[in-house]
Amino acid sequence: MINSDGDPAFPIFTSEKVFVEGMSIRDYFAAAAMSFKYGPSGLTARPKDIARWSYELADAMLEERSKSLVDLSQQEGEINGR
């Protein structure tokens, strides 16, 4: 099940359950976007603007990711005759 934050970025699986502590994949995407946009290039902006832009990009990435997951699920169903 995917939650609004896109599930954990680094889940730990055991034979009994999944540990979901730590950063969400949404947070991970936002951090990656922030380092891309405002990293070594030397661009500057207000911190609130950087955070807003980073999470907007992360949300767009999650939306596209969910479309890909639906497409893969449909393809798997077609292959398995469902």
DSSP letters spanning the chain: ---TT-SBSS-EE-SS-EE--S-BHHHHHHHHHHHHHHSTT-----HHHHHHHHHHHHHHHHHHHHHHHHHHHHHHHHHTT-
User: pLDDT by residue for the chain (82 residues), tens digit each?
Assistant: 445 676 777 777 777 776 666 788 888 889 888 877 665 555 667 888 888 888 999 999 999 888 877 666 666 666 666 5
CA distances from 34 to 24, 52, 67, 78 (A): 15, 10, 23, 38
pLDDT of residue 1: 40
pLDDT of residue 59: 93
Q: Quote the tokens at residue 61.
A: 């990435």
pLDDT of residue 60: 93
Question: Do the beta carbons of residue 62 and residue 33 sit within 8 Å?
Answer: no
